[in-house]
């Protein structure tokens, strides 16, 4: 097990606090009976708290398997942590103020908030690119199955962040053109792709971590990780096509639904197999 560095502890604690923020805002949203949709909904504080909290914890853990010089790692993870806090705090603040957090240029203050959110997203992308480049460049002190899983997870994270950047860019263009409502509609189309790709860095490396406890050869572990990667890639591709064409995953064609369903089943079976073998190996040692 990798040694937990100080910067990782900070990221874990911060991620937990951000996640807690999302939980608290969920309670507030339910208790208030407020709408779950729209740019003024408290839902944004919920989703940003939960998503950034979980993603920060996951990135800190997954990148612990990437070989990076300590000082560089401190800077990268520190920037990612700081940007996550700023993004969540500003979105939550705007939700409490009852104004949109993104594409809002009504006042100088709101314009500064929207600009800061966009800049924060840029810093997050830069850190993710740096971690991905490091993961692709070196083998690191880990197993081939985990190395493969982390590389895929980071690539998928870049896809998610790219979708997020595209949402911001298209929304800003619409808002600056005097169509604020169109900004939210246009940007929202890529949310499913953003969400699905974002959590690959948790699911696939999590599978590889489970396989470390299985009484399997490393070659067999790598094969199962490849199966999971193939399934997740197919799922992401289907959701991506739906997002680009403006089709809701709940209103997709039968072919798209079946393809996505099969990919989900394969992912589930892969996870179940890894968990079963890990439990079996554990029981043999007792």
Structure tokens at 228: 């999971």
Confidence check: pLDDT of 33 > 90:
no
Rounded-to-integer distance, Cα 40 and Cα 62, Å: 34
Rounded-to-integer distance, Cα 36 and Cα 23, Å: 15
Residue 35 zone, left/alpha/beta (φ > 0; ψ -120 to 50; rest): beta
Whose CA is closest to 204, among 274, 116, 134?
274
Rounded-to-integer distance, Cα 136 and Cα 127, Å: 14
At 282 the three-state DSSP class reads helix
Rounded-to-integer distance, Cα 175 and Cα 172, Å: 5
Rounded-to-integer distance, Cα 164 and Cα 168, Å: 6
Confidence check: pLDDT of 221 > 80:
yes
Q: What is the pLDDT of residue 101?
A: 82
Among 4-13, 226-235, 277-286, the range of highest mean pLDDT: 226-235
Q: What is the pLDDT of residue 184?
A: 64
| Confidence band of 275 (pLDDT split at 50, 70, 90) | very high
What confidence tens digit (pLDDT) does each residue in 98-137 have? 888 887 788 889 889 988 998 999 999 999 999 999 999 8
Confidence check: pLDDT of 1 > 50:
no
DSSP 8-state secondary structure symbol assigned to residue 212: T
Structure tokens at 29: 């949203």
Rounded-to-integer distance, Cα 131 and Cα 234, Å: 24
**Contact 200/236 with Cβ under 8 angstroms?**
yes
Confidence check: pLDDT of 211 > 50:
yes
Q: Cβ atoms within 10 A of the Cβ of 95, count?
A: 24
pLDDT above 90 coverage of the chain, percent: 62
Q: What is the pLDDT of residue 2?
A: 47
Structure tokens at 20: 């807690």
Q: What is the pLDDT of residue 75?
A: 94
Tell me the pTM: 0.89
Q: What is the pLDDT of residue 230?
A: 97
Q: What is the pLDDT of residue 106?
A: 82
Q: How far is CA 156 from the centre of its chain?
A: 9
Rounded-to-integer distance, Cα 218 and Cα 208, Å: 10
Provide the terminal-to-terminal Cα distance of the chain, rounded to the nearest Å: 20
Q: Whole-number mean pLDDT of the chain?
A: 89
Q: Please indicate whether residue 60 or residue 180 has the higher confidence score (pLDDT).
A: 60
Q: How far is CA 215 from CA 131, 143, 211, 254, 281, in A?
A: 30, 14, 8, 39, 6
What confidence tens digit (pLDDT) does each residue in 142-175 have? 889 999 999 999 999 999 999 988 888 877 777 6
**Contact 274/214 with Cβ under 8 angstroms?**
yes
């Amino acid at each position: 097990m990798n040694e937990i560095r100080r910067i990782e502890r900070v990221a874990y604690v911060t991620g937990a606090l951000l996640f807690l923020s999302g939980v608290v805002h969920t309670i507030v949203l339910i208790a208030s009976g407020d709408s779950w949709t729209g740019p003024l909904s408290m839902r944004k504080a919920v989703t940003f708290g939960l998503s950034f909290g979980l993603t920060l914890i996951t990135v800190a853990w997954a990148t612990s398997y990437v070989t990076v010089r300590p000082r560089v790692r401190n800077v990268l993870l520190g920037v990612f942590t700081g940007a996550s806090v700023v993004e969540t705090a500003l979105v939550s603040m705007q939700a409490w103020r009852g104004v949109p957090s993104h594409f809002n240029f009504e006042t100088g203050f709101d314009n500064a908030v929207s600009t800061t959110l966009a800049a924060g997203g840029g810093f997050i992308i830069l850190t993710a690119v740096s971690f991905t480049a490091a993961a692709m460049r070196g083998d690191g002190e880990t197993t081939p199955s985990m190395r493969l899983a982390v590389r895929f997870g980071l690539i998928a994270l870049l896809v998610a962040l790219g979708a997020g950047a595209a949402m911001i860019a298209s929304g800003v263009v619409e808002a600056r053109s005097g169509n604020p409502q169109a900004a939210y509609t246009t940007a929202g189309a890529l949310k499913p792709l953003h969400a699905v790709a974002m959590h690959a860095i948790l699911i696939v490396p999590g599978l590889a971590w489970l396989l470390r406890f299985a009484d399997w050869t490393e070659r067999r572990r790598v094969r199962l990780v490849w199966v999971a990667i193939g399934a997740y890639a197919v799922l992401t591709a289907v959701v991506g096509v739906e997002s680009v064409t403006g089709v809701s995953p709940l209103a997709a064609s039968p072919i798209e639904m079946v393809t996505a369903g099969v990919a989900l089943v394969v992912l589930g079976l892969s996870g179940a197999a890894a968990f079963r073998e890990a439990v079996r190996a554990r029981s043999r040692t007792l």
